[in-house]
């Protein structure tokens, strides 16, 4: 598998086999790190980290992952460069592409990361946009595989805002890998018809099932229950409205019991607003694997950088 030089903007752009390759590579790199082994697959590479939105996991994962493999990451926050303001995105991309070997972008418009990729001339990686969060999905898939020993055939239920970047990306990743995907959300917050149609096609190819529902009984037989904040970054003004709308979809002990399975795990991309989308007792329970997910952000992001920019046998 050769992904050298590829951008990583959305999992739409990657086949099932390519996604599984990235997961296998991440597992290998994680095992090496646990043994105290780091590499030089990115030795001499300079990586620009562009952040319009703040971050804990994404920033730390890119910094540590890059340094583990010999690269030099440079953080550029919204006050450090003139991205899209005094200088166009295209011009910024062409400047940074001549100085850096890879560029990560975390921000608002997905069109921004697409324009960076169009003009930079080096691999560009999406650390999060308003539409997609593909590196998080790799971490989620790795966590599930570690816990269950497989991904294909699992029953995955996403609960909450069904049209945010997490719901969008989870639908793509799960249906591509043969995971049965349910989006549980009020009708006004369900995924777009276009994305549903696209993911139905992925599900047909992988043998997965895709269900969109507003009935909490849809959690029955779930292996995974997943949620996210009710108001995403940039939508804080809608928080009160979302709380009223999504309160019935809170992940609590009662909802977890409705799965009918003792083995169901709870997942969240973090940060969590405990007491809203998830209760404290579920978040802190033995069923919660949220910190495994958080750690796996670093291993999977490292795999993306190594696969698209690295050298040697992992190319």
Q: Which position among 250, 297, 299, 314 bears the catalytic label?
A: 297
* DSSP per-residue string spanning 88-112: -HHHHHHHHHHH-SEEEEESS-HHH
Q: What is the token pair recorded at 252?
A: 């609590």
Q: Which position among 7, 41, 59, 133 bears the catalytic label?
A: 133
Q: Which position among 6, 136, 223, 250 bears the catalytic label?
A: 136
Q: Which position among 68, 223, 228, 314 bears the catalytic label?
A: 228
- In angstroms, the CA 49 to CA 185 distance is 33
Question: CB-hemisphere CA count at 13 Å for 295?
Answer: 11
User: Within a 10 A sphere around the Cβ of 284, how many other Cβ atoms?
Assistant: 12
User: Within a 10 A sphere around the Cβ of 179, how many other Cβ atoms?
Assistant: 26
* DSSP per-residue string spanning 214-238: S-GGGGTT-SEEEE--SS-TT-GGG
Q: Is 251 helix (H, G, I), strand (E, B) or coil?
A: strand
To the nearest 10°, report the CA torsion of 27, 30, 34, 38. 130
Pairing of the two strands 210-213 and 265-268 = unpaired
Is position 268 annotated as part of the catalytic site? no
Is position 98 annotated as part of the catalytic site? no
Is position 297 annotated as part of the catalytic site? yes
Q: Which position among 106, 110, 242, 268 bears the catalytic label?
A: 106
- Is the separation of the CB atoms in 174 and 156 below 8 Å? yes
Is position 199 annotated as part of the catalytic site? no
Determine whether 260 is exposed, middle or buried from the number of CB atoms within 10 Å of its CB (0-12, 13-18, 19+). Answer: exposed
- Is the separation of the CB atoms in 309 and 65 below 8 Å? no
Please give the positions annotated as active site. Answer: 106, 133, 136, 228, 269, 297
């Amino acid at each position: 598998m050769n992904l050298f030089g590829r951008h990583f903007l959305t999992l739409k752009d990657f086949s099932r086999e390519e996604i599984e390759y990235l997961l296998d590579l991440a597992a290998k790199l994680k095992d090496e790190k646990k043994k105290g082994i780091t590499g030089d697959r990115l030795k001499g590479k300079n990586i620009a980290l562009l952040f319009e939105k703040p971050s804990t996991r994404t920033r730390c994962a890119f910094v540590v992952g890059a340094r583990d493999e010999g690269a030099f990451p440079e953080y550029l926050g919204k006050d450090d460069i003139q991205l899209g303001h005094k200088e166009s995105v295209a011009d910024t991309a062409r400047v940074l592409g001549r100085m850096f070997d890879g560029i990560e972008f975390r921000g608002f418009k997905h069109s921004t990361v697409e324009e960076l990729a169009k003009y930079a001339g080096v691999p560009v990686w999406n650390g999060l946009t308003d539409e997609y969060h593909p590196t998080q999905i790799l971490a989620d898939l790795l966590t599930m595989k570690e816990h269950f020993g497989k991904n294909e055939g699992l029953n995955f239920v996403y609960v909450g805002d069904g049209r945010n970047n997490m719901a969008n990306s989870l639908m793509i990743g799960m249906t591509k890998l043969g995971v049965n995907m349910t989006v549980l959300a009020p009708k006004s917050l369900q995924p777009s018809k276009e994305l549903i149609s696209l993911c139905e096609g992925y599900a047909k190819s992988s043998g997965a099932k895709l269900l969109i529902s507003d009935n909490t009984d849809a959690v029955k037989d779930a292996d995974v229950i997943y949620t996210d904040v009710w108001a995403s970054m940039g939508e804080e003004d809608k928080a009160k409205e979302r709380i009223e709308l999504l309160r019935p979809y809170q992940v609590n002990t009662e909802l977890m019991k409705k799965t009918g399975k003792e083995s169901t795990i709870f997942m969240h991309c973090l940060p969590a607003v405990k007491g809203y989308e998830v209760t404290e007792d579920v978040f802190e329970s033995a069923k919660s694997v949220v910190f495994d997910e958080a750690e796996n952000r670093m291993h999977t992001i490292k795999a993306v950088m190594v696969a698209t920019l690295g050298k040697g046998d992992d190319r």
